[in-house]
Chains A and B, each alone.
Chain A
Amino acid sequence: MSVQRSAFIFAWILLLPAVLYVLAIVAYPLVDTFILSFTDASLKKTTNWVGWVNYEKIFNERFAEVIIRTFIWTFFSVALKMVIGTFGACMLNAAVPGRSLFRLLTMPPWIVPMAIGIFMWGWMYNGQFGMISGLLQRFGLVDGPVAFLAYGSTAFWATIITDVWIGVPLVTIYFLAAIQSIPKDLYEAAWTDGAGRWYRFRRITLPLMVPAIITMSMLSLIATFNSFDIIWILTQGGPSGETTTMIIDTYQTAIGSKKYGEGAARAVLICIFLSLFCFAYFRVTRRLNPEKRA
């Protein structure tokens, strides 16, 4: 047996357990979702093939509105993560005493189980007694208590802010690493030429961060699009559906109302969007580092 061949076999022995596991628990359910989406599966014993009915239903109902809302929700959440992450990374990159402590202090939202952080936000948003409403009143910015989760427009933004809060630590650390990998001599050259700090940031730091920002916004886009826990714990999609995103709606249809077939059709639609994002992600990352494969 040649060396090449033995290496090939060994590599596959190493890969096989992980590959088989993912095939069984992710790929098989994916196929199952697709098949289910053409049936009227529910709690009933019998299941019939119904063709495109579930898909037609999706577009006849309020789902178009849900899709648009999902994209707006995702867009603002990702944009805010990028802006706050860039700001945080620049601040934490500054050579001031205590910075390693400050870097450590950005981690908690990422480390703590998501649900716990969300419970804390739930209290912060509490209209009668929460901190945000309380402080706004104390400083005379609002007249009475503001129940953020009780009204569609404020609940929409409240869920976005919480999503941003959970995503910011990872974005910040990633951007910090990106800033630190910028060659120091660029700054030195600019400095020698008399460029000020703001000018150096605008002309060196920011342009060289662009690949990191693009990569991270793609990854963040996918995570945010899939976001379930935050909305579910804070509002369950309410009030009157104003925070219902595609994931929430799919969950309500499939698990809440036990309409498996209709839920599956929604899930397939989500998968199509996610595949498009993946495709875009691969294209973008390949363009950003053309010398590397995959």
Chain B
Amino acid sequence: MSNLIRWAPLAVFIALASALTYGLAKPARTNITSKMVGAAVPSFKLAPATSGLPGLSSADLAKGQPHLVNFFASWCGPCIAEAPQLKVLAEAGVPIVGIAVRDRPQTVAAFLARHGNPFRAIGADNASQLQMAMGSSGVPESFVIDGTGTIRLQTIGPINPQDVAGIIAAVRDAR
């Protein structure tokens, strides 16, 4: 039996075990990042999610001004956690628009009354249609959209206090 062949199993195993070692060493990444970053916001038109605020369409996001699009829901716990950060962002002048995912007008209104309203407009995404079109997979998630309607940045999970500065910078860069 030739030398090459009898050592081949060991070589294959070492290659395989290296893959396993990598698998163990890499940080567990369960977030699904959107592949739409860098592309134009898909065309959409959503009805208002609650009374008193307008709905949202893709045309609203391509009028020269950058936006932070925040996917949220009144039934989502972490969305409560990020409410103070959204308030800070709104006070810093970041134009924030909301997408209420699978929500009812009354509960959205109650949520805003309780946790503050940083939004200029909120579209109702009742069957997660826009969420899927944007490549988003949960709430809360946020996207920075530039003035031409191009997606620049995605943040997954609640916006934490340490994320605020980065988002402000991203919005500034998106002008």
Q: Do A and B bind each other?
A: no
Which residues from chain B sit less than 8 Å from chain A, CB to CB?
A: none
